[in-house]
Homo-oligomer: A and B are copies of this chain.
Amino acid sequence: MKSKRTSLQDIADVVGMTKMTVSRYLKNPQLVAPSSRIQIENALNNMGYIPNRAPNILSKGKSYAIGVLFPSISNHVFDEVLRGIESVTEPAGYQIMIAHYAYSPQLEEKRIASLLSFHVDGLILSESVHTQNTLRMIAGSGVPVTEIMDTRKPPIQQAVGFDNEEAAKQMTERMLSKGYQNITYIGAKGDVRDLARQQGYEIAVKKVGREPIIFRSPEITSMRLGSEILHNILAIRPKIDAAICTNDDVAIGMLLSCKKKGIRVPDDIAITGMHGHEMGQLTSPALATVITPRFKIGQVTAQQLIARINGATNSETHIDLGFEIYEGESM
């Protein structure tokens, strides 16, 4: 257990050759004599050799690793994004290193520093706001970076996602067209996308001459949060007849709590979410939501990033993959 890791030299010693021959065997067995091949193969199998990437990272400056930063791993929005990323990185031979930062730019900075210190070849970020230091490090590292989910803000280098403001605006308009009079926006610990959605909502309600009604919690989104917010809303604003939530988690929390309290959805209150998680289709009523192209965001992002790692320079700075309004049964 205490033994140190098997190195190429250890293998070479056992078979009585130099590590160079063993190295060749590893890259291309054709290059070594058949008799040597067998010996090396045996030694390799017995000794549990694991290649060490550090020397290569050092001499070539390439790690074949991509750093992926998510605000939180319990935010199910990113499950599909990750699958999309891996659908590209896996066949391309890149390893991804996932980290999360609890929606904090300071923690994001720390994570990025850490990922860069491992010499990742590229970064996928889920945020469009960063600390000064983060920006400096990214510039100094020279690695390509893609920011995902939103396409509004000018990105560091490239953004892949959809227009959150427009999505919320269209959803609000749809709700208005259904006759809801007092629609409220439910926000949570605000990343920029949440605020963009709120803005879309505000634009839509103001356009029809109404005052926005905002509920905003400093907590991270969760179903429990949605449930708590519902209680508050009822206590403070009994005449609200519809709620557009920053995401499906919050919306489902509200919806389940309504059912628990005997409040009818959508008759007493309409509820809509954002992202189109499968879970929203299991509730009754099925949740109205904005279906976002999460898998595709991951996929396109990884393709773009790998292309740029390999020298592509003609990439678009904004790639908007659109969205789709789904009415479900909750509005």
Contacts and interface: CB of A to CB of B under 8 A. Distances in A.
A61 B7 CA distance: 11
A249 to B, nearest CB: 9
Nearest to A222: B278
A117 B53 contact: yes
A284 B95 CA distance: 42
A311 to B, nearest CB: 8
Contacts of A49: 140
A154 interface: no
Interface residues of A, number: 61
Nearest to A76: B74
A47 interface: yes
A54 B51 contact: no
A65 interface: yes
A153 interface: no
B79 A73 contact: yes
B51 A117 contact: yes
20 contacts: A1-B144, A1-B157, A45-B136, A48-B138, A48-B140, A49-B140, A50-B113, A50-B116, A50-B117, A54-B58, A58-B58, A73-B82, A74-B79, A118-B118, A224-B278, A256-B282, A257-B282, A259-B284, A260-B282, A260-B284
Interface of A: 1-6, 45, 47-55, 57-58, 61, 63, 65, 73-74, 76, 79, 82, 95-99, 113-114, 116-119, 136-142, 144, 157, 222-224, 227, 253, 256-257, 259-260, 278-279, 281-284
Given A5-B142, A54-B55, A256-B282, 16 more contacts: A1-B144, A5-B61, A6-B140, A6-B141, A45-B136, A48-B136, A50-B140, A53-B117, A54-B118, A73-B79, A73-B82, A118-B118, A227-B282, A256-B284, A259-B284, A260-B283
